Amino acid sequence: MIAVIQRVSESSVKIDGKIKGQIGIGMMVLLGIEEADGEEDIAWLSRKMVNLRIFSDEAGVMNKSLLAVGGDVLLISQFTLHASTKKGNRPSYIKAAKPEVAIPLYEKFIASVEKDLGKPIQTGEFGADMKVALINDGPVTITIDTKNKM
């Protein structure tokens, strides 16, 4: 799994012109799922995300987690994170999981984050044409690949 995590002061996702999900302070997360991903990736990434210390403390130092600040999550599925651009100019998405594999993992990831965070999260819609808006606070953007834990 690849996650692009952006610390936001606000973020939203629209589908067909209607807001599907919206948050204030927290993380807007783009999530790419590949065929090799599984339960271990879900658990590890979920814990890592909610405990990632990217929010400022009283001294202005990034020392607080999403849990500590009571922030929210807007999670957006994005298979293009697994694009390969090694050959030619047209990206290949061969590593991205097919919907029959990706959707159940995406749903399990949502449940895992909600459990670790202790509250519901906001999401887009898997496979939909989405319009994502955000105000990146900092800016702070962090990429995590569960295949590169060490």
Residues acting as catalytic residues: 78-80
Sequence-separated (6 or more) residues with CB below 8 Å from residue 111: none
Reduced 3-state DSSP string for 14-56: EECCEEEEEECCEEEEEEECECCCCHHHHHHHHHHHHHCCCEE
Decide: 23 and 122 in contact? Cβ < 8 Å. Answer: yes
CA distance 101 to 53: 31
Coil/strand/helix, residue 65: coil
How many helices (H) and strands (E) in the chain?
A: 3, 8
